[in-house]
Amino acid sequence: MKEIKKELLIRVYIVAIAMLGVAGLLAYKAVHISVVEGEQWRSLGDSLYLKYIPVVADRGDILASDGSLMTTSLPFFDLHVDFKANGLREDIFRANVDSLAWYLSRYVNTSVSKSQMRDWLIQKRRRGDRYALLAKGVSIRELEQIKTFPIFRLGKNTGGLIIDRQHVRVKPYKLLASRTLGIERSNAQMVGLERSFDDYLKGEEGQRLVQRVTGGAWIPVSNLDDLEGRRGADIHTTIDPEIQDIAEYALLEGLERSQAKKGTAIVMEVKTGAIVAIANLGNQNGNGYSEDYNYAVGYSSEPGSTFKLASVIALLEDQGADLGTTVDLGGGTGHFFDRTMKDSKQHGIYESTLQEAFEMSSNVGIARLVQEYYGRDGRAGKFVDRMYAMHLHEPTGIELDGEGAPMIKNPANKDDHWSGTTLPWMSTGYECRLTPLQILRLYNAVANDGKMMKPYLVSAISSEGKVFKKYQPVAVTEQIASLQTIRKVQDLLKGVVERGTAKNAKPDYYMFSGKTGTARTDYYDPTSERKQYMASFAGYFPSENPKYSCIVMVYDPVEGGYYGSASALPVFRKIADRCMGINRELLATIPLPDTLPYGEEKRLAGWSQKDELYGLVEELNLNGQVQGQGDWARLAGAKQIRLEVQDVLADDMIPELSGMGIRDAIYLLENKGMRVKYHGVGRVTGQSLKSGQPVERGKTIHLTLG
């Protein structure tokens, strides 16, 4: 028994010793894992939390008609540092921290010293920060430089530099057509082409693998090279930057002159409907004008007298009147049922014709002719049918969201509240609503011999340089009225400029056609402190073989008159003049000087560089003589064209600067030692010191541009 008991005790001791050994081994392993290998295992634990996050692709560009950039995306980068990157050993960090601190304090954060930057790096290293912010909004050029700094040049796994790519939308032309191009940013609603073509511009979203690290931050597993996604497509517009610039500056100058609340100007190609310029400016807070809203497309209002074109087309088509049809203008006052209608002034004219009534923009005359024909025998619906035939009840379908809905009343619709005075008032542009673009579409159709084109802003969409979608001009209708009627209203629109309300703006060397408009916008508000108006001019140029149609609308002008002829027409004229001036194809339509009366001397342009002007004369086949010598020239002539040439730098006399561009004028005057100050926009129209006076070096000369 004793032997058995002894054997059992030995076995118990052996098992106990074994268990103690295992326990000791487990304790040793636990201490070793938690203390010696703890950092490694915690890092491995972190890496088990992985996920993919979406990555926004670069947006495509928006291009002008000549291919130049109007909106593009520029990359910028937010930089972070993983101070516990796998390859960032302590010896590497210690050996390079001083030099890295010097580079960062010199090129990245210049507001801190090298020692402060070094302390920051060491502190972040000790804390084991895995996503420490280093810099925000770094450009690609700055990034390439930073990647060469000590430690960072070793790559992400060793250097710990984490690169987060962002993008920002920029417009190389600044505010040019800004509202039409649109806005794309996280804290604002998208508008314009950015919104309408967002599905194309935004591209295909990519994915990026990130891991969760201590502190809950997510850091990318790899850098930019591993990102996937597809850049957005490029949108090609019909906007001509030069004409857009002309339209915006002419509109701005006009609004400032009239102190108006807002305004818009649109220029469109007659044959295609392509919009080459669309300017919108508003001054809602009194701090200057900016593109605060797309009035051209989104703002509908009662158009006023520009609508008379549609009324006359209806009369001519239905043979309700002809150009010579007589009408009583009532001296400027007419009565329709219980309401009184007035012309812009009491002119004292009674018996007149449709043509004269239209050219002088008589409300009474046009309203009486429309009322006499359509106001009886239930013909009011026929008048509305004519408006429908001209598609005035339809939006244009422009590629921009938010187009204002047109409103043409219909006697068959009870909700339209048709009354006995609706017809005469509608005929003069009241009790209906249209946007500027919808009005322009009608005038463009008249310029296009009756063919109505759909206005459009986008010509193509491309990706990686290859066009995959192309937009062609689209005809809304081949003929809004008979060609006979169109020819008559073309004569009427030309007569407005030759003899009517726009005669004061008639050009000297080409012709445009169009119609003035003035509409009171607050007639329904008896509490209004002062009358408010909308001034407009719609037309096309040149009258013979029109190239462009254009509309200008000025809302609530205060200074210089509220009529269309006073506020909107000067802007139209400036746009037309400058478009003619930059387009040699249009310059060729200008009548030659030999059509001028014999002996009437005319200077056709200001001083320009002789070689440029002589090249233009040759290209246009203008036969004439060269008179004088020098590097500068201008066109002149009576029965025959003459190229006057002079060396304006040859003497110490002040040159004649009339008609010269401001850059040339400054060049000439400063070369003579004078100081130049100027105001206005365009070419020189006046100078404070007369030509031929001796130059006084250092003296200031003031130039007026217009």
Beta strands in 192-230 (DSSP E): 206-212, 218-220
Q: Report whether 265 contacts 550 (CB < 8 A).
A: yes
For the record, the structure tokens of 360 come out as: 């002088």
Per-residue confidence (pLDDT) for residue 231, from 0 to 100: 87
Per-residue confidence (pLDDT) for residue 599, from 0 to 100: 40
Q: Please write the tens of the pLDDT for every residue from 279-313.
A: 999 987 778 898 889 999 999 999 999 999 999 99
Per-residue confidence (pLDDT) for residue 645, from 0 to 100: 56
Q: Name the pairing type of β-strands 69-81 and 132-139.
A: antiparallel
From residue 359, give the alpha-carbon distance in Å to each of 365, 408, 497, 514. Answer: 11, 24, 8, 10
Per-residue confidence (pLDDT) for residue 163, from 0 to 100: 86
For the record, the structure tokens of 84 come out as: 């516990």
Question: What residue ranges define each of the domains in the chain, with the CATH number in brackets?
Answer: 52-236 (3.90.1310.10), 243-584 (3.40.710.10), 594-705 (3.30.10.20)
- Backbone conformation region of residue 464, classed left if phi is above 0, alpha if psi is from -120 to 50, else beta: left
Task: Report which of residues 441 and 607 the model is more confident about.
Answer: 441
Per-residue confidence (pLDDT) for residue 597, from 0 to 100: 40
Question: Distance (Å, rounded) from C-alpha 344 to C-alpha 535?
Answer: 13
Average pLDDT in the 342-356 region? Answer: 94
For the record, the structure tokens of 667 come out as: 């060049």
Question: Distance (Å, rounded) from C-alpha 372 to C-alpha 311?
Answer: 13
**Cα of 146 vs its chain's centroid, Å:** 37
* SS3 label, residue 468: strand
Task: Report the share of the chain in percent with pLDDT over 70.
Answer: 82
**Is the pLDDT at 277 greater than 90, yes or no?**
yes
- 17-26, 136-145, 182-191: range with highest mean pLDDT: 136-145
Proportion of the chain in helix, strand, coil states, percent, rounded to 5: 35, 25, 40
Question: Distance (Å, rounded) from C-alpha 214 to C-alpha 43?
Answer: 9
Least confident of 115-129, 504-518, 576-590: 576-590
Average pLDDT in the 612-633 region? Answer: 62
**Is the bond leading into 593 cis (omega within 30 degrees of zero)?**
no
**Cα of 181 vs its chain's centroid, Å:** 5
> Where residue 73 falls among pLDDT bands split at 50, 70, 90?
confident
Q: What is the mean pLDDT of the chain?
A: 85
Which stretch of DSSP H or E encloses residue 538? strand 533-541
Q: Calculate Rg over the CA atoms of the chain.
A: 38
> Where residue 610 falls among pLDDT bands split at 50, 70, 90?
low
Average pLDDT in the 6-33 region? Answer: 71
> Where residue 701 falls among pLDDT bands split at 50, 70, 90?
confident
Burial 606-617 (b: 16+ CB within 10 A, else e): bbbebeebeebb
Question: Distance (Å, rounded) from C-alpha 520 to C-alpha 445?
Answer: 26
> Where residue 596 falls among pLDDT bands split at 50, 70, 90?
very low
> Where residue 76 falls among pLDDT bands split at 50, 70, 90?
confident
Q: Please write the tens of the pLDDT for every residue from 105-114.
A: 999 999 999 9
Tell me the angle at which helices 308-317 and 436-447 cross, rounded to the nearest 10 degrees: 40
Average pLDDT in the 363-390 region? Answer: 96
Per-residue confidence (pLDDT) for residue 601, from 0 to 100: 47
Question: Distance (Å, rounded) from C-alpha 184 to C-alpha 176?
Answer: 16
